[in-house]
Each structure stands twice: as structure tokens, then as C-alpha cells.
Amino acid sequence: MSATRIDTAGMPARRSAAPALILLAALVAALLIAPVWIYPVFMMKLLCFALFAAAFNLLLGYTGLLSFGHAAFFGGAAYVTAHAMKVWQVTPEVAILAGIATAVVLGLVIGAIAIRRQGIYFAMITLALSQMFYFFCLQAPFTNGEDGIQGFSRGRLFGLIDLNDTMNLYYFIAAVTVLGLLAIWRIVHSPFGQILKAIRENEPRTISLGYSVQRYKLAAFVMSAALAGLAGSLKALLFQFATLTDVAWNMSGEVILMTLLGGIGTMAGPVVGAAILVGLQNFFATSGFPVTIVLGATFMICVLLFRRGVVGELAHWLESRKP
């Protein structure tokens, strides 16, 4: 059996867990000391988007479904978390759970409709349904329309830890993000994840093996939506506002770009992609050069020249150097 032909999808089961553990330890160590050099708010924004992109990649990279509507889950959860903090005055963890619950419900509804078609249609349907949710948010009274929900206190986590302290908030968001990434890693490397990959590789064959593909797709969709919702809730907590930007289609486009840029179907890809894109946005936000042009051009270059993404190309290069 030639080792080069098999990509990550083929044989994850018996591979040693040691490299993954080393990678995890390095990630945790980096997150612990990063605030010494890097502005914590920037790091937290990056972590929120890294989790968002990783959640999106669970669907695109491991199930082969391109959702063009993930902003609905991200922004919907952000709205509910902000509303829960401001109006219901609950503690942050309850507000985040409310956000995730919203994303799950949205994911069930949108997913159940969208999985009736495949490929390009799936992308267009998710886009249209998320746009419908956008119009709902534009008109619903609790979102405050164009103003959004803003100006609430971050409160105390479990009633104990004050999240208005930046470092407390940083370590909370870092911990939740790592847990979220671990959950994704666990899903992908479980028997359930194997079936998702089978669907990605050959759907008719998976059906013929006796799996009810629609149920697996919906389950993957809802899990991805829930994790995207978690990212949205964290983002609302971090910036203390939720606006229409979070639910707009541009946000769905951005998360696709992060995943594409980092590497579709790789574990580290979305994190790297999010880091590059958030960095680019920060850089160009102050330069006066429009960010949209940069995003558009990056998209085109990525699709034309390196479809494997940064991490994917790197892995491919390392693989090709092996004797």
C-alpha cells in the first residue's frame, strides 16, 4: 500500500495520538503566554473566529457540505446572548447556553430544509434561508434594528469571576475555544466522523452500506451550527454588542474564506486562516484601503492558485518530501 495516495480522510483511526497531543500542548502553552506580546482583545477576536471557522470546517471539510449561511447561527446566537445579558440579566454562562440553543434550533430548521438538495443548490438554499433570518433580525423589535444590542455588562461567570476584567475574559475565551476545538477533533475522529467522511467521499456508496445519510448530514449540520453559535456568543460577550453585521451574508463569506485560506478539511487550517484574515482585517482597517477588495482578491487567488490552503499545501509539501 503506497502511503502517498492516502490523504487525511483515509486512515486516522490507528495513527498515534502523540503528534496531536504535542500540538495541543503547544497550542495551550502559546495561548497562556500570548497576552504578554499580543493585545488580548485582538487575540480574543481571533479565537472567536478560529472557533467559528473550525465549526464551519466540520461541515465543509469533513462532510463535504458548503453552507453559505453560517452567519445566521453565529449572529443569531450573538443576538440572544446579548439580549439575555442585557434584558434578562442572567450570568454569562447561561447567556452563552441560550445562544447555543438558538443556534441549534436554527440549525435544525435550516438544515432540514437545505439537505433536501445537494452541492451548489445546498449552498444557495442556506444562503437564502440565512438572508431570510437577516430580514427577520432587521424587523424584529428585540434586535433594535440598525442599532443592534449594545451596552451591557459582561457580568460574573458562575456569579464568581468578573469577566469585565480583560485577563479573566481572555482565559475564559481561550479555555472555551480550546474545548470547542477538542470537541471538533473528537467528532471528526469518532466512528460518527468516519461516516461523515464517507458521505463526503461517496454519498451513494454510503447509502448502499445502509447508513441513513440524511440523518447524519442533519446531525453534522446541527453540531456545526451549535459550535458556530458558541463562537457568536463569545464574540457578543467580548465586544458587548450584537449587530446586523453578525448575521449578514458577508459574515458567511468571511468564514468560508478563513477555512479556504487555512485549508479545508484540516484541523489547524481554520485556526490559521482565521488568524491570517483577522490580521489582514486589522491591518487594512487602519490603512483606508477597503477590506472588501482584499477579501475578494484573496478569495480569487486562493481558488485559482492554492485550493489546499496554507496548512493543506504545507502538509502536501511535507508529504511529497518523504522518501
Residue 12 binds to other proteins (criterion: CB under 8 A) = no
- The residues near 78 (Cβ < 8 Å, ≥ 6 apart) are 99, 232, 233, 235, 236, 242, 246
**Which of 135, 142, 283, 317 lies at the binding interface for other proteins (CB under 8 A)?**
135
Length of the chain: 323
Residue 293 binds to other proteins (criterion: CB under 8 A) = yes
Q: Which is nearer to other proteins, 52 or 172 (CB)?
A: 52
Residue 292 binds to other proteins (criterion: CB under 8 A) = yes
Residue 23 binds to other proteins (criterion: CB under 8 A) = no
Cα Dmax for the chain: 63
Cβ 228 to other proteins, closest distance in Å?
A: 19
Residue 282 binds to other proteins (criterion: CB under 8 A) = no
Strands of the chain (E only): list them.
149-150, 156-157, 161-162, 241-242
- The residues near 295 (Cβ < 8 Å, ≥ 6 apart) are 253, 254, 257, 277
* The C-alpha cell that represents 9 in the structure block: 480522510
Site for other proteins in 98-117 (CB under 8 A): 113, 116-117
Phi first, then psi, for residue 185 (nearest 5°) are -60, -45
Site for other proteins in 47-106 (CB under 8 A): 66
Site for other proteins in 136-195 (CB under 8 A): 136, 138-139
Residue 291 binds to other proteins (criterion: CB under 8 A) = yes
Helix (H, G, I), strand (E, B) or coil at 141: helix
DSSP-derived letter for residue 126 is H
- Candidate ranges 4-12, 18-26, 127-135, 198-206; the one touching other proteins (CB under 8 A): 127-135
Cβ 211 to other proteins, closest distance in Å?
A: 20
- Candidate ranges 91-99, 133-141, 195-203, 224-232; the one touching other proteins (CB under 8 A): 133-141
Cβ 288 to other proteins, closest distance in Å?
A: 9
Residue type, 41: V
Neighbours of 21 (CB within 10 A): 10
Angle between helix axes 166-188 and 191-201 (nearest 10 degrees) is 70
CA distance 82 to 45: 16
**Which of 26, 87, 296, 319 lies at the binding interface for other proteins (CB under 8 A)?**
296
**Which of 6, 285, 297, 319 lies at the binding interface for other proteins (CB under 8 A)?**
297
236 CB burial (10 A radius; 0-12, 13-18, 19+): buried
Residue 215 binds to other proteins (criterion: CB under 8 A) = no
The 227-266 site mask, x for binding other proteins (CB under 8 A), equals ----------------------x---x--xx--x------
Contact (CB, 8 A) for 51 and 70 = no
Residue 124 binds to other proteins (criterion: CB under 8 A) = yes
Residue 214 binds to other proteins (criterion: CB under 8 A) = no
CA distance 177 to 48: 7
CA distance 73 to 100: 8
Residues binding other proteins: number (CB under 8 A): 39
CA distance 65 to 115: 9
Residue 285 binds to other proteins (criterion: CB under 8 A) = no
Chain positions contacting other proteins, by CB under 8 A: 66, 113, 116-117, 119-121, 123-125, 127-129, 131-132, 135-136, 138-139, 249, 253, 256-257, 260, 290-300, 302-304, 307
